[in-house]
Amino acid sequence: MSSGSTITGSPRLQSAARQSAKVLMHPQLAQPGSGVQRSAKAKSAMSAVFKPARKGRTVVLQRKKGTSWVSVAKRRQNGRGIAEFTAPYKVKGKVAVYRASAVRYRDQAQVTSRGVKTSRWGRADFTDEFAKSTLSDNWTDRLQGYQPESSRQCSKADPRARRVVNGAARISVLDDPSRGRDCSYEGTNYDWRLNGHIGTQFAKSFRYGYAAARMKFQPRRGQHASFWMQPETVEAVEGSADKTGAEVDIIEWFGGDHPSGGLTSFIYHYPDNGRDGVTGDKVGGFIKQPGRFGGDWAKKYHVFSVEWTPQRYIFRIDGKETFRTSKGVSGQPQFLILSLLSSDYELPLLEGDNRLPQHMFVDWVRYWER
Q: Which residue has the higher pLDDT, 108 or 16?
A: 108
Q: Which residue, of 74, 105, 121, is where some domain finishes?
A: 121
Based on the domain organization, do 81 and 52 belong to the same domain? yes
Based on the domain organization, do 168 and 196 belong to the same domain? yes
Point out the least confidently predicted range of 278-282, 310-314, 359-363.
Answer: 278-282
Q: Which residue, of 121, 142, 175, is where some domain finishes?
A: 121
* Residue 238: predicted pLDDT: 83
* Residue 145: predicted pLDDT: 86
Burial class (CB in 10 A: 0-12, 13-18, 19+), 115: middle
Asked if the model's pLDDT at residue 277 lies above 70, the reply is no
List, as one string, the DSSP characters of 328-357: T---S-EEEEEEEE--GGGGGGGS-GGG--
Based on the domain organization, do 249 and 133 belong to the same domain? yes
Q: Which residue, of 87, 121, 155, is where some domain finishes?
A: 121
- Bridge partner list, 100: 61
Say how far apart CA 50 and CA 113 lie, in whole Å: 9
Report which of 62, 67, 57 is spatially closest to residue 110, judged by C-alpha positions: 57
**290-310: pLDDT as tens digits:** 999 999 999 999 999 999 999
- Bridge partner list, 98: 63, 116
Q: What are phi and psi of 192, to 5 degrees?
A: -70, 145
* Residue 10: predicted pLDDT: 42
Q: Which amino acid is at 231?
A: P
C-alpha radius of gyration, the chain, whole number: 23
Based on the domain organization, do 143 and 181 belong to the same domain? yes
Q: What are phi and psi of 14, to 5 degrees?
A: -65, -40
* Residue 278: predicted pLDDT: 63
Say how far apart CA 294 and CA 97 lie, in whole Å: 26
Average pLDDT score over residue span 246-258: 98
Tell me whether strands 205-206 and 2-3 are parallel, antiparallel or unpaired: unpaired
Asked if the model's pLDDT at residue 275 lies above 80, the reply is no
Based on the domain organization, do 111 and 12 belong to the same domain? yes
Q: How many domains does the chain have?
A: 2
Asked if the model's pLDDT at residue 167 lies above 90, the reply is yes
Based on the domain organization, do 141 and 55 belong to the same domain? no
Based on the domain organization, do 168 and 226 belong to the same domain? yes
* Residue 234: predicted pLDDT: 65
Q: In Å, what is the CA distance from 311 to each residue of 269, 325, 326, 330, 331?
A: 15, 9, 6, 9, 10
Residue 11 pLDDT level (bands cut at 50, 70, 90):
very low
DSSP-H helix ranges across the chain = 11-16, 241-244
Say how far apart CA 21 and CA 52 lie, in whole Å: 9
CB 253 within 8 A of CB 225: yes
Based on the domain organization, do 57 and 177 belong to the same domain? no
Tell me whether strands 247-253 and 263-269 are parallel, antiparallel or unpaired: antiparallel
DSSP-H helix ranges across 232-274 = 241-244
Give Cβ neighbours of residue 36 (< 8 Å, ≥ 6 apart).
166, 167, 168, 301, 363
**50-86: pLDDT as tens digits:** 999 999 999 999 999 999 999 999 999 999 999 999 9
Based on the domain organization, do 54 and 101 belong to the same domain? yes
CATH number of the domain bearing residue 353: 2.60.120.200
Based on the domain organization, do 159 and 244 belong to the same domain? yes
Domain containing residue 96: 2-121
CB 250 within 8 A of CB 228: yes
CA angle 145, 146, 149 (to 5 degrees): 120
CATH number of the domain bearing residue 36: 2.60.40.10
Based on the domain organization, do 194 and 78 belong to the same domain? no
Asked if the model's pLDDT at residue 4 lies above 90, the reply is no
Task: Please write down the HEC assignment for all residues of 4-57.
Answer: CCEEECCHHHHHHCCCEEEEEEEEEEECCECCCCCHHHCEEEEEEEEECCCCCC
Asked if the model's pLDDT at residue 182 lies above 90, the reply is no
**133-145: pLDDT as tens digits:** 999 999 999 988 8
Based on the domain organization, do 100 and 179 belong to the same domain? no
